[in-house]
Amino acid sequence: MTEIKKVVLVTGAARGIGLATAKRFLAEGWLVAMLDIDGPAQEAAVTALKRPEDTLALSADVSEPEAATRTVAAVEARFGRLDALVNNAGTAVFKPLLETTNEEWQRVLAVNLGGPFMMTNAAAPVMAKTGGGAIVNITSISGLRASTLRVAYGTSKAALAHLTKQQAVELAGLGIRVNAVAPGPVETAMAKAVHSPEIRRDYRDTIPLERYGLEEELADAIYYLCSSRSSYVTGQTLAVDGGFEAAGIGLP
């Protein structure tokens, strides 16, 4: 009998947490579709994996309305099914409220919140055809607390945590679980772009485990929430943050 391989679609998979997540699923024997807005970086990342039979590179902007239906259809055409979706693609603007432009506000909300909404609505019917699956939305500790610099980013991630609950309740009937992972700081390109020396010092002082997280540590949590090991978990946000949230200290 031919073994049926499970299929995951990871957005924002050209680098950082998304790429680490794609590698984790590959190591577990899944087929992996990797989507990114940066087509050349995505192609390079997929080529470097040297698993052409098991991977699919997709170039799209998750905030574009047709991107979700087009890419989910491409995954179904190539692999024949979809078992998990990781809504990881995200963008960050760290600015005070009064300096955040309308364009920045709209872009951050469109990518971080609109993307997971549209990707999920496109993916769920395909997942349902084979009995359901699991979806993980990547939020942030910036959505758990307010701070001076994260009006757009933090609001988008707090809203995504609520969207996760809505999706979990509404998709349970299709056999689809929906959870969120809220990373603490992880040394990726995004962190390099928005974490000032002051933010880094404050994180070091306030994270009980006294370090940034590793991309692989996030990938482990994401994989757990997509695997059958979490079959009774839905509608939750799992903070993977070195104890930052538990310590109850305000964000730097």
Binding residues vs ligand NAD (CB under 6 A): 11-12, 14-18, 36-38, 61-63, 88-92, 111, 138, 140, 183, 185-186, 188-191
Q: Cβ closer to ligand NAD: 53 or 207?
A: 207
- Closest approach of Cβ 195 to ligand NAD, in Å? 7
- Closest approach of Cβ 186 to ligand NAD, in Å? 4
Active site residue 203: no
Q: What is d(CA 47, CA 58) in angstroms, rounded to the nearest whole number?
A: 13
The torsion defined by the Cα of 8, 10, 16 and 19, in degrees rounded to 10, comes to 40
For residue 243, the 8-state DSSP code is T
Q: CB atoms < 10 A from the CB of 56, how many? A: 19
Q: Cβ closer to ligand NAD: 75 or 138?
A: 138
Helices 102-109 and 151-171: crossing angle in degrees, nearest 10, is 30
Closest to 178 in 3D by CA, of 218, 139, 133 = 133
Q: Cβ closer to ligand NAD: 70 or 129?
A: 70
Q: What is d(CA 4, CA 54) in angstroms, rounded to the nearest whole number?
A: 13
Map residue 14 onto helix, strand or coil: coil
Q: Cβ closer to ligand NAD: 124 or 182?
A: 182
- Closest approach of Cβ 50 to ligand NAD, in Å? 20
Residue type, 10: V
CA geometry: angle 196, 201, 204, nearest 5 deg? 125
The torsion defined by the Cα of 16, 216, 167 and 118, in degrees rounded to 10, comes to 20
Q: What is d(CA 68, CA 148) in angstroms, rounded to the nearest whole number?
A: 33
Q: Cβ closer to ligand NAD: 29 or 65?
A: 65
**Looking at 153, 203, 212, 223, which residue is catalytic?**
153
Active centre residues (catalytic): 153
